[in-house]
Amino acid sequence: NLERTLKQRMEILDIAEYADYLKLLNSCSSVCDELASLIDILTVGETSLFRYEAHDKALVKSVLPEIIQRKSRERSLKIWSAGCATGEEPYTLALLIKKHFPQLLEWDLRILATDINRRFLRQATVGWFSERSMRAVPQDLCEKFFTCKQGGYSLTKEIRDMVSFEYLNLHNGQSPGEKEMPVGADVILCRNVLIYFDAVTRKKTLTRLINNLHPEGYMFFGHTEMMQNVSNRLQTEQQGRAFYYRLQALI
């Protein structure tokens, strides 16, 4: 639990009082070694590939076809996985695009994946997954884009190269820089992230996410994260069993 984790870190650093440990964390101008270590221990990375079947169907049947039609001249697609953990979410997107929309590989396609946990990000770039993480991967994709390695499955470089991983702390107000997401994301996925924030921080973070959306962009949250009462700028959309959101134009 949290108390046990804090005590373990304090013992390692020979710090007796919580107040002194808090001072150490507050003294970090950015993510210092100790804060990074604490984040790595406390953040939860339980996930799997193709975890959100209903969302995947909505992306394939509605969202991506609409974007492709609307941006056929611009030929640009930007997707941001905010809180990507060990990469299952953005790699699922890459596999869906490879299978259903191969024409997008000729576009200016950017899949940006960010997380606060640097250990998760290092693991994500490797693209190795346990059998448990692979349980929902369609057989054809498993055979074509994964190889058995060290008791698990290794994703091919072809798919790994479709995703860019970057460190980002949503809590402190950061957003992707101009280099990563120059004109706003067409799709933002922020699933099971905001539930860890208090109401005030959640609203501020959601506002920043919305401000990084393309004017006609889409947002996906976790199944338990309903956002109607958080922002009137998001319009609820439905495809089958999936609920997601689209940015409403400001009047």
The one-character DSSP state at 62 is I
Indicate whether 56 pLDDT > 70.
yes
Query: Distance between CA atoms of 210 and 249, rounded to whole angstroms?
Result: 11
Q: How confident is the model at residue 30, as a pLDDT?
A: 47
- pTM of whole model > 0.85? no
CATH number at residue 90: 3.40.50.150
Query: Distance between CA atoms of 121 and 160, rounded to whole angstroms?
Result: 13
Residues 33 and 152 placed together within one structural domain of the fold: no
Residues 73 and 27 placed together within one structural domain of the fold: no
> Residue 25 is encoded by which pair of tokens?
């964390």
Residues 31 and 95 placed together within one structural domain of the fold: no
Residues 148 and 124 placed together within one structural domain of the fold: yes
Residues 112 and 9 placed together within one structural domain of the fold: no
Cα–Cα nearest to 152, from 43, 49, 53: 49
Domain span including residue 8: 2-42
Residue spans of beta strands (DSSP E) within the chain: 76-82, 108-115, 128-129, 146-149, 152-155, 163-167, 185-190, 213-221, 234-239, 242-247
**pLDDT tens-place string over residues 138-180:** 999 999 999 998 889 999 999 999 999 999 888 776 677 766 6
Q: Cβ–Cβ contacts within 10 Å for residue 184, how many?
A: 17
Q: Say how many domains are in the chain.
A: 2
For residues 96 and 61, the answer to whether their CB atoms sit within 8 Å is no
> What average pLDDT does the segment 74-96 reach?
96
Residues 141 and 23 placed together within one structural domain of the fold: no
- Mean pLDDT, the chain, as a whole number? 86
Residues 228 and 122 placed together within one structural domain of the fold: yes
Residues 112 and 29 placed together within one structural domain of the fold: no
For residues 203 and 171, the answer to whether their CB atoms sit within 8 Å is no
Indicate whether 44 pLDDT > 60.
no
